[in-house]
Amino acid sequence: MSTPIRITDMKCAVIGDYPVVRITTNVGIDGYGQVESWKPFLKPHVLFYKDYLIGADPTDVERVMMRIKRMGSYKPWGSAVSAIEIALWDIAGKAAGVPVYKLLGGKVRDKVRVYNGAIRFPLRDQSPEAYAEDVLKMAESPEGFSIIKQGISFHSRMMYDVPDYFYGEIQTVGRHPNRGLMTPTGFKHTLKCIEAMKLALGDRIGLALDCGPGLVKSDALRLAKATEDYHLMWLEDMITGDYTPYTLAHIYRDITTQTTTPIHTGEQMYLRQNFVELIETQAVNVIGPDPLDVGGLAELKWIAEYADLHGIMMAPHGTGDGLIGLAALVHVSATLPGNFIAFEYPKATQPWWYEIIDGLPNPIVKNSYIDVWDAPGLGVTFNVPAAKKYLNAEDAGFFD
């Protein structure tokens, strides 16, 4: 009789800004998960869950997750739970000798489309001309992206650099702290920047816009209606979004029902239960949960399928998810239903990440697609001798 597999330890190391989770077992199989690069402070939060995991069978992913997922929340506090879930799938796939996508129901596509929200360039200023130049640079990336996402309005520096952008006192502390009614100057400037970007890209590349959080309902609706003829991919997080611990689905619905411009939100949201109102009331046209915030891969897939039943599209968030997060996105996206558009391509914060992770295709992206690979688990792992050079002293035993 084979030895039952059990979790023996969980470690977390901050490697180049990313908290990385390693779960080990009594049979020599380990699994990795990753937290977004903007959250190095979450290492202690990851380790909080350790005592809930020891002794459990890591291949019973849902049973293990039932121990911990009620103790997470909206971004950033669901990240630790999500990274652990992904590490469990990595172990389960390796133990079964199959890629993670097989355990999630099998793939429905052999390659997955990605969009560019991460390979960006510093804007020389906040002028329409600068925005046009910037999206053209993004379009020239060798990945050949078919969709580009740019930050505007309250998800940009407009409120700081455009005089009298909105009726409000500028806040500088916290993440995306500004909110208020745009002045006529601010609204017209925002619209001119959108027009310039759309003119530069034409119809050959889709344009998505990350707008907030921070717009008030009247401005959000006015902006959506003013851009209806531009065939935008979506307007994202206009009301709530990044680091907002609630959704306000009823406000999104008031906007979505009055415009043909697709409305999008969801990156900050945690667990399927928090998507129910958003989906069932048709509050948005596109949802974008992040596997590293929403509770993991099985959670994201459940949400995608429920959204599909309600005619809502899926474009998973992922800009800061790193290379382990990239692998996780490839696997889950390969299994999603036909409402899948593309996921946001993560770019590693340091170039040496591409030297310490083995298993990714080279090049990773070809003509806006990533081919789905078939190695067991997530199919990527650390080149341990190379990776050890980037460990902090306190994490020296991470790979032992």
Check pLDDT > 50 for residue 98: yes
For residues 309-316, average pLDDT: 98
Residue 399 half-sphere exposure toward CB, CA atoms < 13 A: 16
pLDDT for 1 equals 46
Nearest Cα to Cα of residue 18 among 356, 295, 272: 356
pLDDT single digits (tens) 352-365:
999 999 999 999 99
**SS3 label, residue 98:** coil
Q: What pLDDT shows up at residue 253?
A: 98
- The arithmetic mean of pLDDT across residues 142-164, rounded, is 97
286 Cβ contact partners less than 8 Å away, ≥ 6 residues apart: 233, 234, 262, 263, 264, 312, 313, 314, 315, 341
Angle at which helices 297-309 and 79-96 cross, to 10°: 100
Question: Looking at the DSSP assignment, which residues form a beta bridge with residue 207?
Answer: 148
Q: What is the SS3 assignment for 251-308?
A: HHHHHHCCCCCCEEECCCCCCHHHHHHHHHCCCCCEECCCCCCCCCHHHHHHHHHHHH
Tens of pLDDT, residue by residue over 8-42, are 999 999 999 999 999 999 999 999 999 999 999 99
**Within 10 A of 354 (CB to CB), how many other CB atoms are there?**
13
Contact 3, 26 (CB under 8 A): yes
> Where in the chain are the domains?
7-98+383-395, 103-377
pLDDT score recorded for residue 2: 81
CATH of 7-98+383-395, one of 3.40.1000.10, 3.60.20.10, 3.40.50.620, 3.30.390.10: 3.30.390.10
Q: Is the pLDDT of residue 336 over 50?
A: yes
List, in sequence order, the alpha helices (H) in the chain. 43-48, 50-53, 61-68, 79-96, 100-103, 128-139, 158-161, 184-201, 217-226, 249-256, 276-280, 297-309, 322-334, 353-356, 384-387
**CB neighbourhood size of 329 (10 A):** 27
| Tokens 């949201």 belong to residue | 269
CA distance 149 to 31: 32
CA distance 98 to 375: 7
What integer best gives the mean pLDDT of the chain?
97
Sign of CA dihedral 319, 82, 22, 391: positive
CATH T-level topology, domain 103-377: TIM Barrel (3.20.20)
The torsion angle over the Cα atoms of residues 42, 323, 236 and 79, rounded to 10 degrees, is: -20
Residues 155-163 have a mean pLDDT of 97
Backbone angles phi, psi at 358, to 5 degrees: -100, 150
- The answer on pLDDT for 248 being more than 90 is yes
- Report the percentage of the chain scoring pLDDT > 70: 100
CA dihedral 356, 61, 309, 289 (to 10 degrees): -40
Measure the CA–CA gap between 69 and 63, rounded to whole angstroms: 10
Query: Could you give the residue ranges of the DSSP H alpha helices within 32-170?
Result: 43-48, 50-53, 61-68, 79-96, 100-103, 128-139, 158-161
Check the CA dihedral 350-354-356-360 and report its sign: positive
Tens-place pLDDT, residues 99-133: 999 999 999 999 999 999 999 999 999 999 999 99
CA dihedral 213, 218, 219, 222 (to 10 degrees): 130
